[in-house]
Amino acid sequence: MVKQTTALMVASIFAMSVPALAQQPAKPNEHVHDHGADTAPSKSANGQPKSDEHDHHDHSGHTMSQDKGTAVDHEGMHADDHSQHDMDHDHATDHSAHSAQSTEHGDGHHHHHMDNDHIMDHEGTMIMGQNLDKLPSSCKSISESVEITVKAGRKYARNFPGTAFAFDQQQWNVKPCSKVTFHFVNEDNIRHQFMMHGLPKYLYKYGMFHLEVTGPKTVSGTIIVPGSDDTFLVHCDISHHMEKGMKAQLVVGKGAESIPSIPGLTPYNRNDTYEAENLPKASDKAAQSAMVRQITAFTNNSNMQNYAMIGLGALLGLFVIPLFRKILLRKKSTE
Amino acid sequence: MPRHFFIAILTFYLMSTAAVVQASLKLPATVKVESAALTAEPMCDPKISLAWREAQEIDGVKIDASPGCSPDNPVWIAAAVKGTNNISMDTLMKTGLSPDAIIKTDDIDGDGDPDRIIIKLEIMELNGRSPDFPGIVPTFDIAPGVQPGAWVFAPKTSGMSTENFESVRANPLLRLPSPVIRVEQGDIVQIVLENTHYFPHSIHLHGVDHPFSHGEHGGQDGVPQTSEVELMPGGRRVYQFQARQPGTMFYHCHVQTHTHLAMGLAGMIVIEENKPNNWVQTLNIGGGHVRHRSVAVREQFDQEYDLHYHAMDKELSEIIQKYNDPRLIARDMNQRYDITDATEDYYTLNGLSFPYTLRESLIVVDPDQKIKLRMLNSGGELIAVHTHGHHATITHYDGVEHNPAAQIMRDVFDMAPAQRLDLKLETIDDGKHSYGPGDWLIHDHREKGITTNGMAEGGSMSSIVYKSYLGESGMPKVSHFGIDLSQYFTKEYFERRVPIWQNLDDFASLGSPGGDDGLSAANQATLLNALIGLLIGLLVYGVFAKREYIKQTFMAMVSRSKDAKGGTNNG
Ligand SMILES: [Cu+2]
Ligand SMILES: [Cu+2]
């Protein structure tokens, strides 16, 4: 009994450790390397002075307004009182996407605007907690300006079995005190978010920086990261998008503790248990010999097969075993 | 055999017999669960402002008073009536809706209301597993502490799925049931499904006049075996229709319907009669009281309520709490779950079970009113709704008006799965329509319908409450009958840990008995048997060990008696 339970325990420990191992990235080094390579060119491409920052509009995500025009009628939107909307163009939302309809709008660049922390357009494209110029107290100056393109969509889940949505990368590295502009490219036809948590609250309301857009479309926003090494959670907060893969981290400098359950990067805190299923396989069929097929042809009932096996056993017993005995006896006698 | 050993066993036997006698003289005392030990919730959700109850006007939208505990957020109503495209920025921001959630434009027939309606729905999971912590997210309680895993069609929202980053409670727009949709007959309606969920889904417009296939959007009956392929995660599909007939209808997902419908992907859709200046409340989030009625309903009725009855299976809803990997959830739901062996465990009215139904789904009436009740059964079994104190008239079956001359009155309304009934409830105190003012129960009369996972009182029961029986708080006034509803507002009640009758008298005669102090009668019997066994064993051992001695003694005795006999014979 004691032996049995120990064996069970050992088995379950082993069973639990297998999925845990499976969670580990296959080639962790390669991942880190990839990120470095990706951020490097965008850094060099960005040497512009600060005033140019306002003109960084992403021009890659036009498709939505044209082909989904049936579902998005902007007419009534602008019957509204415009005066309450601050026409602030500091934010880098994708204005170009509206150009096709700018005539009917009368104002192609119209955006709802709550306050400087919260910019939203008529389709729900949102920039929250953007920071273009406020230096964190831990920084004397901006170390560098970086642009990072983050792609989001279902197709990036392909790399991580068992997820449904993902970002194209799971980690981005920046220097402390760098000014980072994120171009968030949503490639799906639904909403996704690029939401960052844990930023200093004196600069970022709720410690959050948040981009949100219904795809296919791009939204861009800028922050200035703190001067100390740190790691920030990035996720999409739509119900179960993070849980099902849309999770990443922004590493400032050497970073801090890694965030759990980032696909391919860090293990889940709670793992599912997996068991191999008895799935039908094409090879099962091929393995069946012609003989077996002949037998099963007229005994395709499992009982019949059982009886056939018993019969075979009986035959074996009747003829083969006496034969063996004879052989053995003969051997003995020759000895 | 040592004599003192025998004495010890005998003493123990006598003592334990005495203990049995002692225990039967006095049974264990009653242990009362103190109210301080319970997780008491306020009967009314304190997060809901009292101002929401008042009659008011927002952005020109007139909203009726709703004196219950948790009336709909008035800004939601304003947005639903005017469209998120036509309300002020300020109002929109208070709704939490996406600015493109409800787009209303183009008065095509020139009768003063918009005729082109776009409604965007997302699909949200409630109470699902997290790979990060041993809890579920985002949480939605159908009753205190009762959190079945569920999926809903939700109006397109903006921002987070939870109340805030610290909370795991769902954003109030993400809730059961899927919202009631209201459009006008003749409107060009587009329901845009943006599949934010990790499984494929669809929308089937049950009872709504819709073309099987639309030139621009393709097949649109929502059925993956007839009209269209499943809409995959991340995808968008437009369902367009222009309904020629009014009526109370039904929409639901038709992908793996036997599980997806029960998971919550089902809602009521109402086509209102075309009338001039008819700005209908496009979404009634959470169902219940309709605080901005259509022109036709205003003409004929004093009030209107949407009553969506639903049922869920615990074993089904637990699958999304058991796994995080969508493949494992798909495997268990599609290949392992067997609905023919399943039973329903949670019965809800407008997404909630008693006592939360008292917060949201009270039918608050005055005498001599005419009230329209639209009822939908999206559960898997027939239900039988009983209106205490009232007979109501069935005016419509499945959205189609019943011949007015043949309309009948009943007090039990049976509804097959997917069935809709429109009722005319008249609060005329004539002994037939109504027996007069009161706090009259309205409940599914299959008795399991008033339980939550088998625990009564729960399920879909609610009340028809006359205002004279409605308390200041918005809850039915029952304290003057000595009734205390507070125990229902604890999660311990639904965990089956509260002896429900303990407070019916001052000494808790039907409270919980404490455990035995010493040995229970059963244990004592077992112990005695063991002792007897031990005794017999010892005896046998003793006999065996001393068999030589016994033999000798016996022989000696025999020979002595022989000797004696012989002696006498001889002598
Ligand atoms: Cu997302
Ligand atoms: Cu579905």
Summarize pLDDT for A276-293 with one digit per residue, the tens.
888 998 887 766 665 555
A-contacting residues in B 238-277 (Cβ below 8 Å): 238
Instruction: Give kind and range of the element (H or E) at residue A54.
Output: none
Structure tokens at B501: 């009758």
What pLDDT digit, counting tens, does each position of A306-335 carry? 555 566 666 666 666 666 666 666 655 554
Give B-chain residues touching A76 at CB under 8 angstroms.
83, 85-86, 103-105, 114
As a whole number of angstroms, the distance between CA B259 and CA B329 comes to 12
Average pLDDT over residues B542-566: 66
Contacts of A272 in chain B (CB under 8 A): 323-325, 328
User: Do B99 and A75 count as a contact with CB atoms less than 8 A apart?
Assistant: no
**Per-residue model confidence (pLDDT) at position A117:** 77
Element (H, E) at B422: strand B420-426
* CB neighbour burial string for B482-497, b if at least 16 within 10 angstroms, e if fewer: eeeebbbbbbbbbeee
From A108's Cα to the closest Cα of chain B, the distance in A is 16
Pairing of strands B188-194, B116-126: parallel
The interface pTM score, or ipTM, of the predicted complex is: 0.86
Mean pLDDT of A243-257: 97
- Residue A78 CA to residue B247 CA, distance in Å, equals 33
Average pLDDT of the residues in B65-77:
97
Confidence (pLDDT) at A201? 93
Give the integer Cα–Cα distance in Å for A55 and A95.
Answer: 10
Band (pLDDT 50/70/90 cuts) for residue B554 is: low
Is A71 an interface residue toward B (CB < 8 Å)? yes
Restricting to B residues 52-91, those with a Cβ less than 8 Å away from any Cβ of A are: 83, 85-86, 88-90
Q: What is the mean pLDDT of chain A?
A: 71
pLDDT at B116 over 90: yes
Choose among B461, B267, B510: nearest CA to B362: B461
Q: Is the pLDDT of residue B115 over 90?
A: yes
> Do A153 and B216 count as a contact with CB atoms less than 8 A apart?
no
- Place B25 in a pLDDT band, splitting at 50, 70 and 90: confident
Q: Do A269 and B232 touch (CB under 8 A)?
A: no
Give the length of chain B.
571
Q: Does B120 touch chain A (CB under 8 A)?
A: yes
Kindly identify the ligand whose nearest atom is closest to the C-alpha of A164: 1
- Domains belonging to chain A, first-starting first, are 2-252 (2.60.40.420)
Q: Is A46's pLDDT higher than 60?
A: no
Tell if the CB–CB gap between B132 and A268 is shorter than 8 Å: yes
Which residues numbered 269-298 in A keep a CB inside 8 Å of some CB on B?
269-272, 274, 277
CA of B252 to the centre of ligand 1 (A): 23
Give the residue-averaged pLDDT of B150-176. 96
Q: Are A109 and A98 in contact (CB under 8 A)?
A: yes
**Residue B214: beta bridge partners?**
B218
Output the CA angle B89-B91-B93, nearest 5 degrees: 70
Contact residues, chain B, for A198 at CB < 8 Å:
none
Strands (E), B7-87: 30-31, 56-58, 61-63
Lowest mean pLDDT among A72-76, B10-14, B162-166, B554-558: A72-76
Determine contact: A79 vs chain B, CB below 8 A.
Answer: yes
Please tell me which residue of chain B has the smallest CA distance to A194.
B159
Would the CB atoms of A162 and B126 count as touching at under 8 Å?
no
Instruction: Check A122 against B98: CB less than 8 A apart.
Output: no
Interface test with A, best of B88, B108, B161 (most A CBs within 10 A): B161
A72/B100 touch (CB, cutoff 8 Å), yes or no = yes
- In this structure, the strands spanning A118-120 and A112-115 are antiparallel
Find the B265 Cα to ligand 2 centroid distance in Å. 6
Considering only alpha carbons, which residue of chain A is nearest residue B154?
A239
Pairing relationship of beta strands B180-184 and B266-272 according to DSSP bridges: parallel
User: Is A229 an interface residue toward B (CB < 8 Å)?
Assistant: no
Residues 179-238 of B with CB under 8 A from A: 190, 192, 194-198, 216, 232-236, 238
pLDDT greater than 60 at residue A51:
no
The three-state secondary structure class of B36 is: helix
Q: Do B98 and A70 touch (CB under 8 A)?
A: no
What is the reported pLDDT for A71? Answer: 40
Whether the per-residue pLDDT at A35 is higher than 50: the answer is: no
CB pairs under 8 A between A and B: 168
DSSP result, A191-202: EEEEEE----TT
Q: Residue A240 C-alpha to ligand 1 middle, in angstroms?
A: 8
Which of A101, A154, A190, A217 is best to mutate for the B interface (most B CBs within 10 A)? A190
| C-alpha span between B155 and B102 (Å, rounded) | 8
Q: Binning pLDDT at 50, 70 and 90, where does residue B482 land?
A: confident
Amino acid at B357: T
Q: What's the whole-model pTM score?
A: 0.78
pLDDT at A152: 98
Which amino acid is present at B502?
A: Q
How many angstroms is it from B138 CA to the middle of ligand 1? 15
State yes or no: pLDDT of A297 exceeds 70.
no
Tell me the chain A residues in contact with residue B105 when contact means C-beta distances shorter than 8 Å.
Answer: 73, 75-76
